[in-house]
Amino acid sequence: MNDLSAFPITAKWPASHPDRIQLYSLNTPNGVKASIMLEETGLPYEPHLVRFDANDQKSAEFRSLHPYGKIPAIIDPNGPGGNPLPLFESGAILVYLADKSGRLLARGSAARYETLQWLMFQMAGIGPMFGQVGFFHRFAGREYEDKRPRDRYVAESKRLLEVLDTRLAGRSWIMGDTYTIADVATFPWVRNLIGFYGAGDLVGFAEYSNVRRVLEAFLARSAVIRGLEIPKAR
Ligand SMILES: N[C@@H](CCC(=O)N[C@@H](CS)C(=O)NCC(=O)O)C(=O)O
């Protein structure tokens, strides 16, 4: 029997299945990276909804697991050495789940590091830049008269999309024939940019035909279809 009571987050989000990976998340582009990965791997998990409309992410219980107060975060009751492993940052979670399951990330070969390179490209480039486009185009920043901040993030996002489009030319996925955690990290953000943020025209999305093609293939995967709805705000 796994005991997770040492983790204060379990007081606010009790574990009904403490033997399973505990996922604390919401179905945002960073959140769904974790749920899609869990669905892809088939690892047993229990999702917990972190409501932004209730500021759950800022609660003391949540910040006991993630001091920055951002989703996603997990606890694996059976981490390395059989000890519970708490983890935040979606990139770290993807690498951990890939290693635990033996899926979606090569071991001990150049392909591993190339996959991590593209994962970092998402974490450090695509996520932050697309996110700022969202702020300045869709959320509070859209009221700002000065459009230079928005234009800067749009220009950076176009650079990133150009790089991604070139990479995907003649490839099924970022790593070629193999679907990896780099795809799981990247395509929820592309979907969000043109969907929820409504920035498709702004970034000239129609020009990036390879990105469009691979996004479509990604969104057709059954694990992706399920993961995009977990955990959904009710
Ligand atoms: N680098 C972090 C970013 C996480 C992040 O920005 N999460 C957003 C949702 S997509 C969040 O929790 N926002 C709530 C807040 O900032 O209060 C990761 O990839 O896990």
Q: Is the confidence at residue 2, as pLDDT, over 90?
A: no
Dihedral sign of CA atoms 87, 121, 196, 178 in order: negative
Give nearest CA residue, ligand 1 atom 6.
Answer: 70
Closest CA to 22 of 90, 78, 102, 83: 78
At 232, is the pLDDT very low, low, confident or very high (cuts 50, 70, 90)?
Answer: confident
Percent of the chain with pLDDT over 90: 97
Give nearest CA residue, ligand 1 atom 17.
Answer: 70
Q: Specify the pTM.
A: 0.98
Q: Is the confidence at residue 234, as pLDDT, over 70?
A: no
Q: Which atom of ligand 1 is nearest to the CA of 28?
A: 10
Between CA 162 and CA 207 the distance in angstroms is 9
The 10s digit of each residue's pLDDT in 81-100 is: 999 999 999 999 999 999 99
Dihedral sign of CA atoms 218, 29, 102, 107 in order: positive
Q: Using a 6 Å cutoff on CB, does residue 128 contact ligand 1?
A: no
Contact in structure between 22 and 213 (CB atoms under 8 Å): no
Between CA 181 and CA 230 the distance in angstroms is 18
* Two structure tokens written together for 67: 């001091």
Average pLDDT over residues 206-227: 98
The 10s digit of each residue's pLDDT in 129-186 is: 999 999 999 999 999 999 999 999 999 999 999 999 999 999 999 999 999 999 999 9
Q: What is the pLDDT of residue 1?
A: 58
Going by C-beta distance under 8 Å and a sequence separation of 6 or more, which residues neighbour residue 159?
Answer: none
- What distance lies between CA 119 and its chain's CA centroid? 10
Is 174 in a helix, a strand, or coil? Answer: coil
Q: If you average pLDDT over every residue of the chain, what do you get? A: 97
Going by C-beta distance under 8 Å and a sequence separation of 6 or more, which residues neighbour residue 97?
Answer: 34, 37, 38, 41, 43
